[in-house]
């Protein structure tokens, strides 16, 4: 068994957090079968403090200050960047829409080790938070559809798990810091979404006015009503559409949705933690109380969260990494690779390749590279569970013919398959190329068109490759 040190760094609208965890990787097959390498254990080693996300202005994250926070947490935990092998840096919520999010990631580059993901976007945040909260595990253990609502400072990320599998994800501009109050008790900031909701409930909010609990309670009840619409408890209005976060998926309700879980900084107040209304200088406490009063609490089974405010960072540190199958093939010296866009072939395109026709792949790859202004892409398809040797030869020829004429010299041909056939396919492609360019062929990974993937250095004596699949980068 091998232990992998994973780091999770979450830079959110309100808070910045760091955790370290240990992932246990082991060969779970028998002595006389093909090796099957799996992640068999996830243990949190260190949970850092919850820091207020430092900002230079209302729209600029202070990258240098964030770096100081992360450096201090590494020191407290007793680890160095060179020890981390996987994990994720996730800029979430409204912070992902700050003007300098990519600059902040550059400040953190020396803490990312050789294989830490720099990623953001409402869809992946929803999934990561739902895993970190325990909603995904509850769904799988109990065979029930569960929605996780991760309510932070700027957004509410939602994901539905059915038997542990993601069936829907979405995001709304609903959060605890969309109205802030200064130390004198006056309104310091009002977001656009807060103004829209305030108008819908007949409340007038102006910057500089005294913060009235009655008005802000009505505002939060309005936000809770939008969440009720979102979960199908009342008819949808134009306000629901207006609060949809840019870049998020359309949220499709599961017909058997029965349970709800809450995470994020507001979740503690949804679950009943008591605090003075403006203790944090925002509406987070009032929003949590409003959701607790809403029909969400009576229409669904409310389950406790394993993590609330730390759900995203726990998910980032422990649930972002998977491992490839063990029957894989690759050229040496290529890893780690980061942010490789995915070009996925559909069933008809895959069938053409299995018939030996590389023209479909060539045309699609040329188009994809132009559209994405990139030099390379992962060629992804399902593959077949038990292909004949002749079929593999034809597929290898189609991939070689289609990709070799399009890619620049020296660029690797990268193949990701769902079914276990990567080793034989990779060797066939390498033979056809006669070492003209590198090849990576891995399987047991499911990706979709426009995903991005990271591949780390091979583990377990080179038998598997750690992989992170990212649904959206920077929204």
Distance CA 79, CA 87 (A): 14
Global pTM value: 0.81
Cβ contact 19:39 at 8 Å: no
Across 7-16, 179-188, 360-369, 425-434, least confident range: 7-16
What is the set of domains in the chain, with CATH numbers?
2-119 (3.30.420.40), 134-306 (3.30.420), 327-459 (no CATH)
Mean pLDDT of 75-85: 90
Residues comprising the chain, all counted: 475
Distance CA 123, CA 143 (A): 23
Q: What are the CA-CA distances from residue 450 to residues 159, 166, 398, 418 (Å)?
A: 19, 17, 22, 16
Instruction: State the DSSP code for 233.
Output: S
Q: Which of 96, 126, 113, 128 is nearest to 338 (CA)?
A: 113
Q: What is the pLDDT of residue 408?
A: 92
| pLDDT tens per residue across span 130-160 | 999 999 999 999 999 999 999 999 999 999 9
pLDDT surpasses 80 at 74:
yes
Q: What is the pLDDT of residue 36?
A: 61
End-to-end Cα, the chain, rounded Å = 37
**Three-state SS at 263:** strand
DSSP of 329-344, one letter per residue?
EE-TT---EEEEEEEE
Cβ contact 115:334 at 8 Å: no
């Amino acid at each position: 068994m091998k232990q992998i040190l994973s780091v999770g760094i979450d830079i959110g609208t309100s808070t910045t957090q760091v955790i370290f965890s240990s992932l246990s990787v082991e060969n779970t097959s028998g002595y006389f079968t093909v090796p099957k390498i799996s992640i068999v254990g996830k243990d949190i080693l260190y949970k850092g403090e919850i820091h207020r996300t430092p900002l230079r202005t209302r729209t600029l994250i202070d990258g240098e200050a964030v770096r100081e926070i992360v450096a201090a947490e590494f020191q407290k935990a007793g680890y160095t960047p060179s020890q981390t092998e996987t994990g994720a840096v996730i800029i979430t919520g409204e912070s992902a829409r700050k003007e300098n999010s990519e600059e902040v990631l550059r400040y953190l580059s020396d803490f990312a080790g050789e294989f830490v993901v720099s990623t953001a976007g409402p869809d992946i945040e929803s999934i990561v938070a739902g895993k970190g909260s325990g909603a995904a595990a509850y769904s799988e253990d109990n065979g029930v559809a569960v929605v996780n609502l991760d309510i932070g400072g700027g957004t509410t990320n939602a994901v539905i798990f059915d038997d542990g599998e993601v069936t829907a994800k979405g995001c709304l501009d609903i959060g605890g810091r969309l109205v802030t109050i200064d130390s004198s008790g006056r309104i310091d900031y009002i977001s656009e979404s807060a103004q829209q909701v305030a108008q819908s409930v007949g409340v007038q909010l102006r910057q500089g006015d005294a913060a009235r609990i009655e008005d802000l309670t009505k505002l939060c009840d309005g936000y809770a009503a939008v969440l009720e619409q979102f979960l199908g408890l009342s008819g949808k209005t134009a306000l629901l559409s207006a609060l949809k976060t840019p870049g998020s998926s359309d949220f499709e309700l599961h017909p058997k949705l029965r349970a709800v879980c809450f995470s994020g900084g507001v979740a503690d107040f949804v679950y009943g933690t008591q605090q003075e209304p403006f203790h944090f200088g925002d509406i987070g406490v009032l929003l949590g109380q409003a959701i607790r009063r809403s029909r969400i609490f009576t229409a669904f089974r409310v389950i406790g969260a394993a993590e609330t405010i730390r759900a995203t960072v726990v998910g980032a540190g422990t649930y972002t990494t998977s491992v490839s199958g063990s029957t894989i093939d690759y050229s040496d010296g290529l890893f780690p690779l980061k942010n490789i866009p995915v070009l996925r072939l559909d069933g008809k395109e895959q069938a053409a390749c299995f018939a030996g026709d590389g023209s479909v792949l060539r045309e699609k790859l040329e188009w994809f590279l132009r559209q994405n202004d990139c030099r390379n892409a992962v060629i992804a398809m399902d593959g077949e569970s038990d292909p004949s040797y002749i079929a593999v030869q034809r597929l290898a020829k189609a991939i070689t013919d289609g990709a070799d004429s399009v890619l620049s010299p020296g660029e690797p041909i990268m193949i990701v398959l769902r079914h276990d056939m990567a080793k034989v396919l990779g060797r066939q492609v390498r033979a056809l190329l006669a070492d003209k360019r590198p090849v990576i062929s891995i399987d047991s990974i499911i990706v979709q068109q426009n995903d991005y993937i990271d591949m780390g250095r091979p583990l377990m004596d080179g038998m598997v490759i750690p992989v992170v699949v990212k649904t959206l980068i920077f929204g």
